[in-house]
Amino acid sequence: MKPSKVTVLLIATFCALWLGMMVEETSSAPQIDWGCTISCTYWNACYIKNGFNKDQCPPYPSNCDCSRFAG
């Protein structure tokens, strides 16, 4: 069964926000870059929705390290 877009987006958003908060708590200068959080959430949702196939997603967000949000 293929997950719905809403389900994937909600899971990706929750994971991105949770990981963003973990990074914020452990960094010396705590800040969340909401632009990167939103961009990475969208990109990771596409990546998961397409069965971990990067070729079917838009370009990787520039100036953002999305690897800490998803593999």
pTM (2 decimals)?
Answer: 0.51
The reported pLDDT for the residue numbered 18 is 64
Q: Look up residue 66 and give its two tokens.
A: 């999305």
pLDDT at 31 over 70: no
Per the model's pLDDT, the better-predicted residue between 47 and 27 turns out to be 47
Residue 40 dihedral angles phi and psi, to the nearest 5°: -70, -35
Range list of H helices, 1-71: 5-26, 34-49
Per-residue pLDDT band at 71 (split at 50, 70, 90) = very low
* Residues in CB range of 15: below 8 A, 6 or more apart: 44, 69, 70
> What size, in residues, is the chain?
71
